[in-house]
Chain A
Amino acid sequence: MATEASPAAALPPHYRPQEHEAAIYRRWEMLGLFGADPDDPRPPYVIVIPPPNVTSRLHMGHGLNNTVQDVLIRWRRMQGYNALWVPGTDHAGIATQNVVERQLAKEGLTRQQLGREAFLERVWAWVRQTGGEILEQLRALGCSCDWSRTRFTLDPGLSRAVREVFVRLYEEGLIYRGRYIIHWCPRCLTALSDEEATPEEVEGRLYYLRYPLADGDAPPTLPRLPDGRPYLVVATTRPETLLGDTAVAVHPEDPRYASLIGRTVLLPLVGRRLPIVADDAVDPEFGSGAVKVTPAHDPLDFAIAQRHGLPEVEILTPEARLTDAVPEPFRGLDRFEARQAVVAALEAEGLLEAVRPHRHSVPHCYRCDTVVEPRLSWQWFVRMRPLAEPALAAARAGDVRFVPERFLKIYEHWLENIRDWCISRQLWWGHRIPAWTCDACGATIVAR
């Protein structure tokens, strides 16, 4: 490539970008035109790249996004700003781990068989092999990043920032450990944040189940089984969770059930006696107005159980198979097999009132599209409300501007309704939580 500004270097008749682009890019790098100096007195113009997943390949979304960034950086650089574009990659915990797990599966292996150390070595090997490929691809696109500042979310500096932030938030009381119902992916075997559980509309069914009253007489309005026992009808989209029920709940002002509050029903298939409790959270318009309460497998039921001191019965393993807490014939069944088995058993006993088509939203894992299971477990959370307030104020004051502006509304709505952020993941690839439990005394130690 001619670099002299000489008109004698006449151009050949046809333009072939392949013959020019790489050489031009190398020359820019050799001339050091991408670098920025913190001592440069000119005003700064800075962009940090949205870090692509370290093992990913460039797709059109990257193509669009990084072209926009490069247009802005090149323009500001020409305008005389001290322009800096910081590049880097993300370790992409769940995504990267899934890729390596799929590779292992082809060899007939699981990460559990390999063990933590060996699995992490595999991931690092994969990252070293493919990591940075995407940065090469950004060069082909012409991106004028300051490559001397390339960062990786698992590099020592960033790991230190992660520990520092965790500890500070913990010390400020903004990080806590709690036992809550979280979204759980039975395939990835990890907790997910609310944002990672993607709702999808499905054509499901609503099952109406009969729970016979276990004690004494009932108002004449209540229907009766052929053997004369009165029963309540409860509606559910997940009949298999019946096995973990510990109560039935009704709205306190629902006249149909006023006389039944405090009484007990007999849980079909299990035989457990369940109290009938009154709770404002029950929607009298849903189904029959009486709902089953499964504290270990539903967030709303968990809250009801907390208010009424109800026990929790965990009926699902992390893989979403039935535990030994359920009657023998159901043990070990997968959750969807269990659904069929429970419905069949109820039908055989005349305890299935009706099944109706029911379109509703079911959360799916954003990484592998498996149906997410609500699961009770100990997890770490960030208290978001105190962090959200200043972020709302800053955007409203115009300290952060959205282009196009309409996204401000969406941002505000989310922050106004923000929930605590579940930050712990049952993964092997990523940053460790800087907290340890003392074997001797059981105390939790959080340290940098």
Chain B
Amino acid sequence: MLDTWFSSWLWPFSTLGWPEETLDLRAFYPTSTLVSGHDILFFWIARMIMAGLHFTGRVPFRDVYLTGIVRDHLGRKMSKSLGNGIDPLEVIERFGADALRYTVVAGAGAGMDQYLNYEDLEEAFGPGRNFANKLWNLGRFALLNLGEEPRRSVEEVVLAPEDRWILSRLTATVRDVTEDLERYRLQEAALALHGFLWRDVADWYVEMIKARLRGEAGEASAAAARAVLAEVLDQGLRLLHPIMPFITEVVWLRLPKAPDAPPSIMVAPWPTVRSAWLEPAVETRMAAFQELVTAVRALRAAYRVPPTARLELYVYPVSPDLAAALDVWAPRLGSLARVAAVHRAVPPAVPGARAVLRGGATAFLPLEGIVDVARERDQLTAELARVRAQLDAVEAKLANAQFRAKAPAEVVAREEERARQLRAQETQLAAQLDALK
């Protein structure tokens, strides 16, 4: 009898009808990509290349994508004898096929081993299932708001700045994901789509358009938000479809579509880059705005501000990007960060919480009557004392002539840099403490 691999090494052309000159062979050979575990590089892949060249005169496939090995969380290969395997069918039953697919694609790049905890399937596959649930909720929200009327094209409506932002993000995602797939960076594609759909669309865009969808900015604005939400979801689901085919189809089929739309997302055209939608300036502005919102939320959490409390917000100095952002999005701070009013000014000398943003601006929230100012003051005083003690030590070292003479230049430079940092910290803490007085 023959070695099993003696039939396997012919697989790419024997399956298409060779040695007959079939239509299939003519149309589909050589094949495009082979996906295989690297453990059978010699057994199988190399031999197929040899057989293909010898019997058909052509390589059997252009690209070979080698996957890693699936291991348990202790790094051991999954095996029956160790009992450390995961049954994919159980995973599909409990978490859904999409969750399994997302997990394995997002978990490791080409050639990299993948680690999954067989003792805790929730840890391993929960995030994938949660992503599917997030898409479901996003879909529900959209369907409840899009209504029965036919979908309007994005070109027919007047776009608000956040509409332009999400369309720019969509376009960048189309560009990045397509490029990732072309280079077999499936993991990067999965993570980019997770970031886009969950963070950009669900966490930010949807939150920012809720008031508009309720009609608070007029019907034209609501129509624009609906058109953009439908467009973003339609395109975003298409991008994710190869990785999570089921949930994307469930939601996509229900979205309002043109009468001549394809019968399934499976055969809906892959999104193309619409360069006109790329607006880096709008993205920069939104990034500044998001940083402000995130900082306010973090300060509220750090100072344990009651969730219902609506705060005044002072921002100064305001960079042009942040100014442009506040010009259009300041009203959204109410719903996004429970801010009652934003003042582009130095705050009055009252106790409060302070954060410095990357762009250089300081955000300040007056806290008197809202949190226990005395306790916060004690904590800051202790922190300031710690920083000053460290600073004293470093400065004493730098003042030592022997150290300066003997230590290598880069060590001296490092100490000087550290002194600079500690001084900046001291200044900031002092200011923060000052703010609470």
Contacts and interface: CB of A to CB of B under 8 A. Distances in A.
A198 B372 CA distance: 69
Interface in A130-153: 137, 140-142, 144, 149, 151, 153
Contacts of B104: 60, 63-64, 67-68
B64 A400 contact: yes
A387 B43 CA distance: 15
Most buried by A among B7, B13, B49, B55: B7
Contacts of B255: 5, 7
B414 interface: no
B14 A157 contact: yes
A174 to B, nearest CB: 8
Contact of B89 (A58, A164, A394, A421): A58
B3 A93 contact: yes
Contact of B64 (A144, A161, A407, A427): A407
B15 A44 contact: no
A149 B59 CA distance: 21
B19 interface: yes
Contact of B97 (A76, A91, A142, A394): A142
Interface in A1-50: 2-11, 13-15, 17-18, 20-21, 24-25, 27-28, 31, 33, 36, 38-40, 44-48, 50
A77 interface: yes
A404 B33 contact: no
Given A17-B97, A137-B88, A400-B59, A47 B1 contact: no
Interface in B105-126: 105, 109-111, 114, 116
A165 B10 contact: yes
A404 B68 CA distance: 10
A194 to B, nearest CB: 9
A272 B149 CA distance: 100
Interface in A400-439: 400-404, 406-407, 410-411, 414-415, 421-433
Contacts of A50: 34-37, 40, 44
Interface stretch (B240-248, B275-283, B321-329, B426-434): B240-248
A291 B256 CA distance: 83
Contact of A75 (B36, B116, B136, B270): B270
A57 B85 CA distance: 12
Contact of A69 (B18, B35, B37, B256): B35
A308 B31 CA distance: 50
B247 A17 contact: yes
A166 interface: yes
A339 interface: no
A158 interface: yes
Contact of A17 (B10, B43, B55, B99): B99
Interface stretch (A78-86, A214-222, A242-250, A295-303): A78-86
B152 interface: no
Contact of B143 (A3, A10, A157): A10
A140 B92 contact: yes
Contacts of A92: 4
A255 interface: no
B88 A62 contact: yes
B132 interface: yes
Interface string B248-277: 011101111100010110111110000000
Contacts of B92: 17, 21, 140-141
Contacts of A415: 46
B140 interface: yes
Given A33-B264, A423-B2, A429-B1, A70 B242 contact: yes
Contacts of A149: 15, 24
Nearest to B258: A5
Contacts of B61: 48, 400
A395 interface: yes
B6 A162 contact: yes
B81 to A, nearest CB: 9
Nearest to B47: A421
A446 interface: no
B167 interface: no
20 contacts: A4-B253, A21-B246, A28-B264, A44-B28, A63-B104, A64-B114, A67-B100, A67-B104, A71-B101, A74-B241, A74-B245, A78-B241, A78-B270, A161-B18, A166-B2, A195-B42, A403-B66, A407-B111, A424-B1, A427-B1
B257 A5 contact: yes
Contacts of A15: 132-133, 136, 247, 250
Given A74-B241, A395-B49, 20 more contacts: A6-B254, A20-B247, A57-B89, A58-B89, A60-B88, A61-B70, A61-B78, A72-B181, A78-B270, A137-B88, A141-B88, A141-B92, A142-B97, A157-B14, A394-B49, A407-B111, A411-B41, A427-B1, A430-B1, A431-B2
Nearest to B143: A7
A390 interface: yes
A60 B23 contact: no
A72 B59 CA distance: 20
B422 interface: no
A403 B50 contact: no
B290 interface: no
B303 interface: no
A446 B13 CA distance: 23
Given A5-B255, A401-B63, A77 B4 contact: no
Given A47-B34, A404-B111, A414 B242 contact: no
A121 to B, nearest CB: 16
A69 B16 CA distance: 18
